[in-house]
Amino acid sequence: MGRNYRLVVFDWDGTLLDSAGAIVACIQAAAADLGLPPPDDRTARQVIGLGLHDALSQALPGVPSDEYQTVAERYRHHYLSQDHELALFAGAYDLVEELYAAGYLLGVATGKSRLGLNRALEASGLKRFFHATRCADECSSKPAPDMLLEIMDELGTAPKHTLMIGDTTHDLRMAKNAGVGALAVGYGAHPREALEAEQPLGLFDEFPELTAWLRLHG
C-alpha cells in the first residue's frame, strides 16, 4: 500500500455490507404495514445512507412527521428480523484487514444508528479494525460534513490525508463538504451515472478494483 492517505473512512451499507436490497425491501414493507403507498425501488435506494428520519421523510414525503416514528419502528422490525443473514461483499473483510495491517487509520461514517452499527461490527468481525466511527444519531446526517470532521478531529488527521469510500451521492457530497477526497463503488445503492456526476477520484464495480487502486494510490 502507498502512503498518500493516513485515514480511510468507509460507509457501511452498500459499501462494505451487501444490504441495499434488504433496506429497500424493509422500507417498502414498513410502508405497506401502515397502509401507505410503498416507494418504488429507485426512490427507496436513493435515501440509503441518510439517517432513518431523513430517509423516511424523503422516501415517504406524504406522511405526517409525527408518524415517522411509527414507520421507523416497522422498518426496524423488518430489518432486525433478517440482518443476521446479510453478508459483507466478497473481498471486503480482506481489504479492511489489509489496510489495518498496513498501518492505516480506519473509520466508518454511516447512516445507521449507533446500536445498529455496533451490532453490525460485531456480527461481521470487523470491529477490531476500526479506530473511530460515527453514526446518524450522533451527527448531522449526510451530506453534512460532521461525521468526517469529527473522525478526523478524533484521530488527528487532516482532510488532505483522508479518503472517503462510499456507494451513494450522499457519501461523495459529504466528502466534498469536508474537503476530503472520495472513491465511489458502483455495486451499492446509487446508480453509476449519479456517482460519476459527483466526480470521485475513482469509481469501481468490484472490490478487487478498489483494492488495486488503494495499493497503487493509497
Cα–Cα dist 77/29, whole Å: 10
Cα–Cα dist 17/40, whole Å: 22
Set 11, 83, 167, 171: catalytic member: 11
- Which grid cell is 180? 476530503
Kindly report the backbone phi and psi dihedral angles of residue 119, in degrees, each rounded to the nearest multiple of 5, phi listed first.
-60, -45
Burial of 142 per CB tally in 10 Å (0-12, 13-18, 19+): buried
Q: Is 13 a catalytic residue?
A: yes
Radius of gyration of the chain (CA): 17
Q: Is 18 a catalytic residue?
A: no
Catalytic residues: 11, 13
